Amino acid sequence: MALGSVVTITLTDPTVDQDYHLHIYDVGAQAKKGEPGQISLVLDQAGQFDVESHTTGETLLVLVVG
């Protein structure tokens, strides 16, 4: 993604309630089981940033900004 872009990340887990978090940017979203959680932000930092489930501890995706 390009630096300065506006992005919305939508994540849905059909099995459990979730607490999603985008590291470094320190933004997140909570979502009930089967419902979407959305993280919206302006990409003002370059690098690679993990989107993680604080419920399971798993890295769900890596956002690359440059």
List the chain domain ranges: 6-65
Percent over 90 (pLDDT), the chain: 95
Report the SS3 class of residue 11: strand
- Which whole-number Å values give the CA distances from 56 to 15, 28, 38, 49, 52, in the listed order? 12, 15, 18, 18, 8
Tell which residue, 50, 2, 46, has the closest CA to residue 28. 50
Question: Which pLDDT tens digits describe the chain residue by residue (66 residues)?
Answer: 999 999 999 999 999 999 999 989 999 999 999 999 999 999 999 999 999 999 999 999 999 999
Predicted TM-score (pTM) of this structure: 0.90
